[in-house]
Structure 1
Amino acid sequence: MNHDHSPERREAKVKRLNRIAGQVQGISRMVAEDRYCIDILTQMQAVKSALARAEAEILRDHAAHCVRDAITGGDATETQAKVDELVALFDRARR
């Protein structure tokens, strides 16, 4: 499915997520090595922050492409579906 995202932006998001995966693997090693809890927790906070930035970037792209296209496309059903998706996403995030 093509969402009209540039290959460069997609590649940047994949690289960011791969870095986060590496950070998580590093945390796993820290736990296995019985490292100091505060050091582990500090790294976990860094991962959460990195994930939040990645999430914001993907959400920005979704709004800039998928939602915008639904709104400008003139199909009221598709527009409402995109709005409902966003509302559900934010509702899940609140829980």
Structure 2
Amino acid sequence: MAGPLRDDVRDCSTPHHVGHLVTRTGEAVTTTRYGRPEAVLVSAEAYEELRQLRRDRDRRRVTELAAADERGETTWTRSPARSRQELVDGLGDALDL
């Protein structure tokens, strides 16, 4: 087993090293490309929490849209889905179906 994480260790040249860093520190790590942020690596627990927050947000939004539709208020919404099946799956997940 490796020793304690040192502040002066910055060589995370492989995904294994970066994953190990995230696991040991419990903090998010931002990867950059050409000096610009490209991705953020988070722990599995933090990722699951983010997924739950997104599902909760989606449920609220779908509920609001359904209520507006029942009131006869025509509303439009955009979806990042790239296919009809992806849209159906997203709605099913948002509605807990």
For Structure 1 versus Structure 2, the TM-score category normalised by the shorter chain is: 0.3 to 0.5
TM-score (structure 2 length as normaliser): 0.40
Higher relative strand content: 2
TM-score (structure 1 length as normaliser): 0.40
**Which of structures 1 and 2 has the bigger CA Rg?**
2
Higher relative helix content: 1
